[in-house]
Structure 1
Amino acid sequence: MTELDALRRSLTAPGMPFEMVERDLGGRRVRTWRHAPESLRALVLDSREFGDRDFIRYQEERLSYAEHFAAVATFAHRLAERGVAPGDRVALAMRNYPEWSVAFFAAASLGAVAVPLNAWWTAGELEFALRDSGSSVLVADGRRAELLGAIPADLGIDLVVVRPEGPLPAGAADWDAVLGAIRADAALPDAEVGPDDLATLFYTSGTTGRPKGAVGTHRNICTNPVSVAYGAALGALRGGTPLAEALAAQPERTSLLPVPLFHATGCHSVLVSTFRSGGALVLMHKWDPAEALRLVERHRVTHFTGVPTQLWQMCAHPDLATRDLSSLRTAGSGGAPASPHLLTRMVASMPDRGFSNGYGLTETSSATSINAAGNYLAKPDSVGPPVAVVDVKVVDAVGEEVPTGGIGELWIKGPNVVVGYWNRPDATAEAITPDGWLRSGDLAHLDDEGFIHVVDRAKDMVIRGGENVYSAEVEAAVFEHPGVRDCAVVGVPHEELGEEVGAVVQPEPGVELDPEALRRFLGERIAAFKVPAHVWLRTEDFPRNAAGKLLKRALRDEVVPG
């Protein structure tokens, strides 16, 4: 038994907070958390115990748990009055406003399916998702409502507008008018909501073709906050924290939300985890590193979870030296690959804190693995071990498991894996095997402790003269250069080799990088065939989607002719 196995057993033993139990899910035996919430409705009901504690802080606005519950209950009644029944879809299209949480939990508490839509989408993309999901109600902020204009009559959607910035579109209703008076003693409408009922429909980022709607259950999303807590406890134990202290109730948390609520990291890992803990959630309307540092100081933020780029920008910002960040206990990243060099930068910039990264997909309801505290310090090039209720394996092109250390596609199985794609049985069959394994599309290897090391997206791997070059490995080497702020490795067509390695590099402000000097620097760290044959310098920030994921295809199209 390894040290990690012993730590896992101590956390998951009978009677412990992370005790597991096997259940039959669709004819498959799956481990689940015994103490996970039964549903989002159950979480909403449980939230009443937090009373007058702040739940949401947005600019100068405050919403306590009691006020949030009353608003959720009231809007759930309004949805029911509009004919929304269990299983019906309720779409949300807005930036990070308090009303997002109210509408989300109201729909889920009623047994409806919440459909968060990307607030960065065009009108055409929003309309596609509304049609695809068959939503009967859309709750949109003023900007999204203006973008959509009058809802096409054939969609048959009730539009409720939050914070309108001008006249309402024809047929739309104002949020405040719909909500009306909110009674402090408001109660949820009667509804039977079970763990395996449908809860969410999150659309994948759609970097290739039309986005697909990943259908999640209440069990899927309610697994995640327990998984996040488990990963933090396991990392603390690995770092030498005694078991009793690792499991002890933590001081009340205040989380800063720098990522959109309409993606899994923002919703599952930050919103739902904070809600379950009784903590406060500080919303950011849009990302700005100076504003993030100001909010950490002002609100005494204890937890920060963002994408790696945001942590890089915070560490590099001049305000870091002047802001009081003493309240910050943990800083973590997810949603995009993180270079091992990021941990070095964070430890130097913000010492004596707990750092973490993790790995997950929309299709795994956020967390598959957590690399926290002692685990992260020990293996910063990993995304951590899978959480205890999740199984992973690495397979070759024909689905056979490869030996430890071998590179192949990462497959994932557990109570966090979604049931499939909305109205896409073909895509579901392609992504999920009959016995429940999700094909992640990521290339990875497992070490002798079971830690996951993601080396590339299968489609991003560069094949140079028959040699596989994993972009994550080359990018990690580039990030070791102190003058590099951001980097992306892409394949460049070559007549003889098939592809060559190219790198787009953003220097740190004020740094003049010489491409040839950078190539010599890399030649001392990686094999010659992996050293980029082409280096493009770019001063502007790289294009990313709303989840912070690099739009590598768009970047490649900028620099590679044809």
Structure 2
Amino acid sequence: MQDRDVQHRDEEGPGRPLASIAEVRAAMTAPGQPFEMAEARIRGVRTRVWKNAPHTLRDVLELSRLHGDKDFLVYGDDRLTFAEHHARAAAFARALVDRYGIAKGDRVAIAMRNYPEWSVAFFGAAVAGAVVVPLNAWWSAAELEYGLADSGARVLVADAGRAERLAGVLPGLGVACLVARADGAVPAGAEAFEDAAGGPPAAPSEASPPGGALPDMPLPDVPLGPEDEATIFYTSGTTGRPKGALGTHRNIAGNPVSLAYGIMSAGVRAGRTVEELAAPQPRVTLLSVPFFHATGCHSVLVSSALQGGTVVLMYKWDVRRALELIERERVTGFGGVPTMAWQVLTSPDFAEFDTSSLTGVSYGGAPAAPALVDKIRERLPERMPGNGYGLTETSSVTTYNGGVNYLERPDSVGPPVAVCDVRVVGPAGEELPAGEVGELLIKGPNVIKGYWNRPEATAAAFADGWFHSGDLARLDDDGFVYIVDRAKDMLIRGGENIYCAEVEAALYEHPAVADCAVIGVPHQVLGEEVGAVVVPRPGAAVSASGLREFLGGRIAAFKVPAHVWFREQGLPRNPGGKILKTRLREELLGRPPVS
């Protein structure tokens, strides 16, 4: 899944002459500074890296233990401290090695909602040397089966809902299934995850000393290096089959430093020091996006683990519940995708709750409408909007635009963080001057290794350390990036990236569909919804409801078209046979669909 990560933070406005971007970068990365850089050879390419970043997820987990009995994960009445989380992750890591025979490089998949057990499984598998495969919990059984088979996962950690969804296919895949939060008996052939990870989290009334009742066991003795493979996050493919983005420990462990650099750089430009900006302060994040997204995992979970931030989880998104949790847990940051930020800020219940603890709003996964920025300034007048850009293939953060930078250039996604290079190229690969639009290329220690078992796709997207994003962009004279359009045939619904070819492929399986095209339909809250234009076969009877029912068992519910148009004439195409979707949008978006 391609994630465009947009982050919103409060920063001071300009009150003095601003330093240049180059001056800020030089000051923040100078020798002895927290953001000092070094150089490493990554897959044969000399690359700038953060000198002080953790090398691996094992390092992140070990450092997180220093936060002791502070709450790390909060879910309802369940609270897991940093020490308890470390102990449970260590117990699960030992179980993977000792009971399940997991060796370095084996794949361990996770398919569950945002429960505390997700994080325990993630860190436990990573420090056992496994490549962690977070699967989209919204996927259908067929999509989950594909992810398990494609990754070659040996162990699956699932919640009860996902385990039940997969019950019919797991025996044929040869995957050991551990079930978390099972309601009642564990399904036949599966085991309880809690048995391998030291029991469920404790409610406040059952709070125990740091580490809980678990023995203080050491992590497995598995040597890990920064370029060892760590994760496979699936990103939708233009061919209709998701591709596994193969990330390294350096990719994910370095992202918290990139995020911190991006957030602080605007403050430094406005005259504050890194020491001022880095002073410890409470960080409580209400997480409303999934852990299986780069934003949720890289930028919230891993960053919070390293920095001692508390993450408040929700069973499912509910605006009033979000406001209740902001008040109860003294949340300092929230947002998710723009949809969620908009719903909270425009809720008729907003004034009922104490939101004074908020110091910022974060949102990503889709462009933000100007109306959202205006609403943030209205409801949270002391907060200064900002945005940024990143993808699954760049391990979340690539650019950041906050504070005074945002005030100057609100239509930009900011300059790249110091360890990243960007350039804009034309059709022949030639580098374009500032102001001209072309494809955005990205280079840095955040760029993933490639696509799992997809050598051709890897060769097409990665070359000499550069990732071809497929996004159209331009740069200004100061290096700020402006995303102009999505070159890939994709739409973004409520933060979920949906490749049109995948939905079209499923539509073509219907016997009454002769031709079809999928387009994005603007939506005030979700950003876009899925729209389908269908040409039926002559004499065939087909309805919008019938198509949705047909698709329901083939693709995830969020990909099923919310709008359907039928047309008798063929779809408009260019001389090369490509459907002219721009013309379709012009023709259809002013006309009501069938549903």
Asked if TM exceeds 0.5, the reply is: yes
- Letter of the aligned partner of 1:34 in structure 2? K
Equivalences for residues 412-431 of structure 1 within 5 A: 412-431=442-461
Aligned partner of 1:393: which letter? R
Is the 1:33–1:226 Cα contact (8 Å) retained in structure 2?
Answer: yes
The amino acid across from 2:91 in the alignment is T
Contact 1:54 1:65 in 2 (8 A): yes
2:71 pairs with 1:71: no
CA distance, structure 1, for counterparts of residue 32 and residue 565 of structure 2:
57
2-structure distance, mates of 1:356, 1:285: 28
Asked if 1:232 is matched to 2:263, the reply is yes
Q: Which amino acid aligns with 1:93?
A: A
1:130-166: CA deviations, max 9, x gaps?
Answer: 0000000000000000111144434221100001135
1:163-242 paired onto structure 2 within 5 Å: 163-180=181-198, 183-206=214-237, 209-238=240-269, 240-242=270-272
State which drifts further: 92-101 or 284-293.
284-293
Q: How many residue pairs were aligned?
A: 483
Is the contact between residue 142 and residue 166 of structure 1 (CA under 8 Å) also seen in structure 2?
no
Other-structure match for 1:499: none
Would the aligned equivalents of 2:89 and 2:197 in 1 still touch at CA under 8 Å?
A: no
Shift in Å, 1:558 = 2.7
1:318-371 alpha-carbon deviations (Å, 9 max, x no partner): 122222111111112222222344322211221112433211111001111111
Describe how 1:398-413 pairs up with structure 2 within 5 A. 398-413=428-443
Aligned partners of 1:271 and 1:150: how far apart in 2? 32
Residue 153 (structure 2) pairs with residue 135 (structure 1): yes
Classify 1:504/1:121 alpha carbon distance in 2 versus 1 (closer, same or farther; 3 Å). Answer: closer
Q: CA deviation at 1:98?
A: 0.3
Q: CA deviation at 1:168?
A: 2.8
2:310 equivalent in structure 1: 280
Instruction: Tell me which residue corresponds to 1:365.
Output: 395
CA contact (8 A) 2:88 2:198 kept: no
Shift of 1:237: 2.4
Q: Which residue of structure 2 lines up, in the alignment, with residue 50 of structure 1?
A: 67
1:387 is the counterpart of 2:392: no
Letter in 2 for 1:396: G
* Residue 125 in structure 1 maps to residue 154 in structure 2: no
SS in 2 for 1:161: strand
Q: Is the 8 A contact 2:386 2:410 kept in 1?
A: no
Q: In 1, are the aligned partners of 2:90 and 2:124 still within 8 Å (CA)?
A: yes
Structure 1: give runs of 5+ residues left out of the alignment: 462-470, 473-487, 491-501, 509-547
Query: Which has the bigger relative contact order, CA under 8 A and spacing at least 6?
Result: 2
| Secondary structure in 2 matching 1:355 | coil
Instruction: Give the corresponding residue for 2:532.
Output: none
Instruction: State the partner residue of 1:59.
Output: 76
Name the structure 2 match of 1:558. Answer: 564
Shift of 1:178: 3.1
Deviation at 1:175, TM superposition (A): 1.4
Match of 1:439 in 2: 468
Provide the residue aligned with 1:455 in structure 2. 484
Q: String of CA shifts for 1:390-443, please: whole Å, max 9, x gaps.
A: 00011111111111011111110100000000000011011111x111110111
Question: Structure 2: which 5+ residue stretches go unaligned?
Answer: 1-17, 200-212, 493-497, 501-518, 526-555, 572-595
TM-score relative to the length of structure 1: 0.81
What amino acid sits opposite 2:78 in the alignment? E
Pair 244,294 (structure 1): closer, same or farther in 2 beyond 3 Å: same
Distance 1:30 1:244, change over 3 A: closer
| Partner of residue 204, structure 2 | none
Deviation string 1:376-400 (CA, Å, 9 cap, x unpaired) is 2222211111111000011111111
- Shift in Å, 1:269: 0.4
Shift of 1:283: 0.8
The range that moved more, 251-260 or 302-311, is 302-311
User: TM-score, normalized by length of structure 2?
Assistant: 0.77
Q: Percent identity?
A: 55
Task: Report the Cα offset of residue 170 of structure 1.
Answer: 2.3
1:17 to 34, 42, 46: 34
Aligned partner of 1:268 in structure 2 is 298
| 8 Å contact from structure 1 (residues 328, 353) kept in 2 | no
Q: Which residue of the other structure, out of 28, 42, 55, is the alignment partner of 2:45?
A: 28
SS in 2 for 1:5: helix
Instruction: Return the alpha-carbon distance in structure 2 between the equivalents of residues 313 and 267 of structure 1.
Output: 23
Residue identity matched to 1:558: V
Distance, in Å, in 2 between the alignment partners of 1:503 and 1:92 is 30
Counterpart for residue 383 of structure 2: 353
